[in-house]
Amino acid sequence: MTDTRLVYRHRWPVRVMHWINVVCLCVLLGSGLQIFNAHPSLYWGQRSDPGKAVLSLEASQDTDGKPRGTTRIGAHTFDTTGVLGASRVDGQWTARGFPTWATIPGPGWLAMGRRWHFFFAWLFVANGIAYVGWSLASRHLDRDLVPDRRDWRGIGRSIMDHLRFRHTDGEEALRYNVLQRLAYLFAIFVLGGGIVLMGLAMSPRMDAVLHWLVDLVGGRQSARTIHFVIAAGFVAFVLVHVFEVIVSGPFNQLRGMITGWYRIRLARKDVDHD
């Protein structure tokens, strides 16, 4: 037989800050792509010289005069018509880096896109500082996220369990495994910290304060490229996170992150002593 029990798993500060992050990341991605569309190319170094892009979303016309979208990565070119480089806007084919459905707040509203991006960027920073501060004060960081010896010893089993889509039951399900812990730490400190620093390094107004950081990464265009790559890393992290939520029971996981209450299954074996 299998018994189930509701357990209070996520405290309210974690839940509130989690959903603030969800909103921030969605708006930052959409508004960031809106800003990127103003010049859909990435470079390395201080300058953005023509023909020197490491990645470029371009549009050209075919023999019928129809826009063709291409994605250029280094010396390699891919036809991405309809998604990258050229897509439909109000029924008309238009030269456009990312399609309209991926950008906010509008198909060509660059000024407002920048305002949305900067507002939610600072909200993201404030929420991140609050999360780290609360995690340190409540010991959530070292108790729930930093791997201990037990975690490191079981990393091989954890990898195999994830590859086989196996998920723990009972009390063990309340504890993050080592891969989850490493993923969350990486997202918080490497992706989160890195994208904020590169965002600041891209700003000309920060030269007097962070000129050393701009020099360290090789120039403002390098910072823009790293900012874009880290944003792609956030997208990958979110996709994996959502996939794991789906395969491990979306209703139970969402209930846990909305109300705090999480249902665990407790295996109970009936033993016949006759």
Q: What is the CATH number of the domain that holds 112?
A: 1.20.950.20
pLDDT, tens digit, 9 for 90 and up, residues 38-97: 999 999 999 998 889 999 999 888 777 778 999 999 889 999 999 999 988 887 888 889
Same domain, 23 and 44: no
| Cβ density class 242-260: b for 16+ within 10 Å, e for less | eebbeeebeebbebbbeeb
Instruction: Give me 71's structure tokens.
Output: 């994605």
Residues 71 and 187 in one domain: no
Region 182-201: mean pLDDT is 95
Q: Domain count for the chain, please give it.
A: 2
Which of the residue ranges 7-11, 90-94, 242-246 would you say has the lowest mean pLDDT?
Answer: 90-94
Summary mean pLDDT of the chain: 89
Whether 254 and 125 share a structural domain: yes
Query: β-strands 55-61, 67-73: how paired?
Result: antiparallel
Residue 128 lies in a domain: yes
**Residues 82 and 203 reside in one and the same domain:** no
Q: Residues near 104 by Cβ (< 8 Å), separated by ≥ 6?
A: 27, 30, 31, 34, 113, 116
pLDDT at 223: 95
pLDDT value of residue 274: 41
Query: pLDDT at residue 257 above 80?
Result: yes
Tokens, residue 180? 């989850």
Name the residue among 201, 180, 183, 197 with its Cα closest to residue 124. Answer: 197
What residues make up the domain containing 78? 40-100
Question: Quick check: is 274 in a domain?
Answer: no
CA distance readout (Å), 30 to 7, 96, 104, 134, 199: 36, 14, 5, 29, 15
pTM of the model: 0.89
